[in-house]
Amino acid sequence: MNRHLSFRSGNPALTKNTFKNISDSSVSKMTLEGTVNKTMIALILLLCSASYTFSNGNTSLIWLGFIAGFILALVTIFKKEWSPYTVPIYAIFEGLALGGISFIYESQYTDIVQTAAFLTFSIFGALLFAYKTKIIKATENFKLGVFAATAGIAIFYLISIVISFFSEPLPIFNPNSPSYGSLMSIGFSLFVVVIASLNLVLDFDFIEEAAENGAPKYMEWYGVFGLLVTLIWLYLEILRLLAKLNSRR
């Protein structure tokens, strides 16, 4: 029996059908080592492009980065075999956006970006270690809980976006609100950070399962794509949490 108990994930890039019917004996197979190497390449590309917009204080590329990244994400999801080409470009565009956003946060709160980046990679490393040593296991109940929480957060975010079109953003998303740094607001952001972090465990499980099932080589890049989606979300949520904590000073 396969020890990976289900295909469920909170990551929209890794759904229950992601790795079904993709095995092909005529092509090279996906490996964990190959996925790790490609993850490092993607992160280097992302960090280089982010460093460019951050060091230049260029915030004009934020929307370009996110819109282009979103389009590339959709293409990658529906055309997984294109992922060796779309994912590196996705990483570059997302880096442009993250660099601009990071500059905005850094201009308001000194050293917040360095702290957020350190925490993001520390959480990534700690959870990878916990997963490989079986300290954390992606059981059926674990997956169900993370999936439900992630879906709930997504729905709440969607509602808040709709509300912002007709009135002021909700206080927990509005830096100008007196309640932005309230304990309730900080508690919510902390909860989101925890759920985003736990999604990494599901990503690790999906990648390992794909390698075990003999997925084609291009799925290494698709696994990288899933990790990037979660890491970008986690980094942005940590930035928001740190901003709220700093606003209380």
What does the CA dihedral 59, 63, 64, 68 come to, rounded to 10 degrees?
Answer: 140
Which pLDDT belongs to residue 168? 86
Rounded mean pLDDT of 74-93?
A: 96
Which pLDDT belongs to residue 18? 59
Rounded mean pLDDT of 2-30?
A: 56
pLDDT exceeds 50 at position 188: yes
Nearest to 3 by CA among 195, 208, 148: 208
Tens digit of each residue's pLDDT (9 = 90 or more) over 36-52: 999 999 999 999 999 99
Per-residue pLDDT band at 171 (split at 50, 70, 90)? confident
Structure letter (DSSP) for residue 24:
-
What does the CA dihedral 86, 95, 77, 72 come to, rounded to 10 degrees?
Answer: -60
Per-residue pLDDT band at 178 (split at 50, 70, 90)? confident
Q: What's the whole-model pTM score?
A: 0.88
Which pLDDT belongs to residue 6? 45
